[in-house]
Amino acid sequence: MSNDLPQSKEALPGPAEVGSSADELAHAQKQLKKLNLLFDVALSNMARGLSVFDADQRLIVCNRRYGEIYALPESVTRPGTPFASIAGFLEPHDGSSEAEGESAWIESHVSKLAHGETVSYNQHLKDGRNVHVTSQPLTDGGWVDIHELWTRDAKRSRASNGSAITTR
């Protein structure tokens, strides 16, 4: 048995280089912490709801407003929650309460996004409010949703501007 260590052709870094790398890492970590804080402030202060899903249809992030608009329990606004679980808390998309209709809608919605199509629709809530949702596909297969609570005045303004409104 030999105690010989494998020989490397690359020199190991000296103490000054290691110290410099540690300083660079500490600086990068400080910058990342600052960026995450700014991101959190931006999400918390948005007037619109925002949700981001990955290619596996799992929630990556959402803001507080998203949960408020739909009165979602905190348990379904956590990263990793399947889109289908969240959709189950929302109003039926076609006025029915059938789970099959919900599954078909989810499949259709995700398919459109997977083919690079931006999807916009109105979500009619039981309490009479309307939410305009725009889903924008991401290159990695996920998508970003923007949820805007519409008032009657906002709807009238958009209609006069020629904005297309579709319902689901």
User: Nearest to residue 51, comparing CAs of 143, 149, 145?
Assistant: 145
Give the tens place of pLDDT for each residue, 13-70: 666 665 678 888 888 899 999 988 888 888 888 899 999 999 999 999 999 999 999 9
Whether residue 156 is contained in a domain is answered as yes
Amino acid sitting at position 93 = H
Instruction: Note whether 132 and 62 are same-domain residues.
Output: yes
Task: Count how many Cα atoms sit within 13 Å of the Cα of residue 30 in the half-sphere of its side chain.
Answer: 6
Strands (E), the chain: 49-53, 59-62, 119-124, 130-137, 143-150
Assess whether pLDDT exceeds 80 at residue 152.
no
Residue 58: inside a domain: yes
80: left (phi over 0), alpha (psi -120 to 50) or beta: left
Residue numbers of the domain that contains 38: 15-45
Quote the pLDDT of residue 94.
46
2 in a domain, yes or no? no
The CATH number of whichever domain residue 145 belongs to comes to 3.30.450.20
Identify whether residues 77 and 25 lie together within a single domain: no
Domain count, the chain: 2
Q: What is the pTM of this model?
A: 0.70
Indicate the average pLDDT of the chain.
81
Please report where in the chains the tokens 């660079």 appear, as a residue.
24
Q: Give the pLDDT score at 167.
A: 41
Q: Which residue, chain included where needed, has tokens 């709801």?
A: 49
Provide the pLDDT for residue 11: 66
Q: Are residues 70 and 149 in the same domain?
A: yes
CA-wise closest residue to 146 among 78, 65, 74: 65
Indicate whether 147 belongs to any domain.
yes
Residue 91 falls inside a structural domain: yes
Same domain as 59, residue 40: no
pLDDT value of position 104: 87
Does 118 reside within a domain? yes
Whether residue 129 lies inside any domain: the answer is yes
Q: Is the per-residue pLDDT at 134 higher than 70?
A: yes
Q: Is residue 168 part of a domain?
A: no
How buried is residue 52: exposed, middle or buried, by Cβ count under 10 Å (0-12/13-18/19+)?
middle
Same domain, yes or no: 96 and 140 = yes
Q: CB of 144 within 8 A of CB of 133?
A: no
Residue 8 confidence (pLDDT) above 60: no
